[in-house]
Amino acid sequence: MTLSNSILSTAMALGLALPAGVIAASSPAAVPQTSAEAANIETARNLYAAIFAARDSALAARYLGPEYIQHAQDVADGKEGLARAIADIAAQTPQISYEIKHIIAEDNLVTLMSHVRPTPDSRGQMLFNIFRFDDGKIVEHWETVQDIPETSANGNGVF
Amino acid sequence: MPNPFVRFGLIAGLLTLAGAATASQPVSTVAATTVSRDADKAVVLAFYEAAFGRLDLNKARRYLDDGFIQHDPAVEDGVDGFARYHQRLSSTHPRYSYEIRRAISSGGLVTVHVLQRLNPWDRGDVQIHMYRVVDGALAEHWVVGNPIPATSLNANGLI
C-alpha cells in the first residue's frame, strides 16, 4: 500500500471526511463543483479502497446501487461478479496496492486514473475507470487497463 | 448524458448572460463553471473532429497549446510529436473513424470515452483519454486503451 493510500485508509477508518478533490500533493486534482459530485467522488474513492485495500465485497456493495452493470471484460456482471473479482484479488495478489492519480466528476459520472501494482516491485498497470451514479450509488462501470511499458516515446511518464 | 453538441447552444446563451452582467450584478458561480466545463469539452470535441474526423493535421494543431505535454508512451512529446504520430496514423489508416460515447469535464480536465476503428472492418479499440485544457487549447494528454476482446465475462460490451 502506498503512503497516500495509507493516509486515505487511516482517515476513512477514523471517519474523517477528506477534503473533496484532494488526492495526493503531486496530483493536479480537479475541484468538484457540486455537492453531489463531491459525494460521488468520495464514493468512488471508497469503492476503490474496498476493492484494492480492504478487499471486502460486503463493504464494496455498500457503494453500489440495486444494479451494477459491468463492462470490464475480465469481470462478470453485477454485484456477484465484482465480489468474485475481489476474492480473486485477495487470493492471487495479496500485496496489491493502488494510487489514484486523477479524479474528476461531472453530473452522474466520475473518472479515475490510477496506478495499480499487483506486487510491490512490479511496474504495474495504468487504469482509467468511469463510474455512473444513480442517487449517490454506483450503477455502472467501464474500464481500460494497460501494462506500464518499460520505455516511452516521451520523457513525461504515463501519469 | 446530454448531447454535447446540443450544449453548444447553452454555452452561447450563458456567455451572453455573462457578458451582459455589470460589476454590481456578478454572474453566478454555477453559470460560470458550467460555461467553463462546456467550453473545455467543446475544445476537445472540436479537436477530435479536426484531428480524427477530418484527419486534418493543420486544423488540429490550432487546438494544441505550444507547450503540449504528451503522456501516451507510444507518442513523442509536444506538438511536433503529435504531428509525427498523426502523419503515421493518417497515412497508414486513411479510413480511421471514432465515436465519442461520453465526455466528462471538470476543473480544466476533460475525459472522453472513445471507440476507435483503425480500419472500417476492425472490431475496434476502446480508449479513455484525458486532456488538460488551458485557455481554449489542449495542454496535456493521458490515455489508456484496450482492443475490444473477442470474448468477455459479461454481455455488456467494453464501451
Mark yes or no for CB contact A104/B74 under 8 Å. no
Q: Specify the pLDDT at position B35.
A: 79
pTM strictly above 0.95: no
CATH code for the structural domain at B7-147: 3.10.450.50
* Domain-wise residue ranges, chain B: 7-147
Distance CA(B11)–CA(B105), nearest Å, equals 14
* Interchain contact, A153 vs B81, CB within 8 Å: yes
Q: Looking at the predicted structure, is the pLDDT value of residue A115 above 50? A: yes
Of B98, B91, B80, the residue nearest B145 (C-alpha): B98
In 3D space, the residue among A33, A24, A32 whose CA is nearest the CA of residue A6 turns out to be: A24
Contact at 8 Å (CB) between B127 and B83?
no
Handedness of CA A65, A111, B113, A83 (dihedral sign): negative
Confidence of residue A33 (pLDDT cuts 50, 70, 90): confident
**Any idea what the Cα angle at residue B140 is, between residues A154 and A27, rounded to 5°?**
95
- For chain A, domains (ranges, CATH) are 3-147 (3.10.450.50)
Q: What is the pLDDT of residues B81-101, one digit of tens each?
A: 999 999 999 999 999 999 999
**How many CB atoms are closer than 10 A to CB A104?**
26
Pairs across A and B, CB distance < 8 A: 135
Q: Measured between alpha carbons, how far is A63 from A140 in angstroms, rounded to an integer?
A: 12
Q: Which residue of A has its CA nearest to B152?
A: A73
Q: Which residues of B touch A158 (CB under 8 A)?
A: 71-73, 142
What's the grid cell of residue A109? Answer: 459520472
Sheet containing B97-106: give its strands across. B64-70, B137-147, B125-134, B109-117, B97-106
ipTM topping 0.85: no
Pairing of strands B64-70, B137-147: parallel
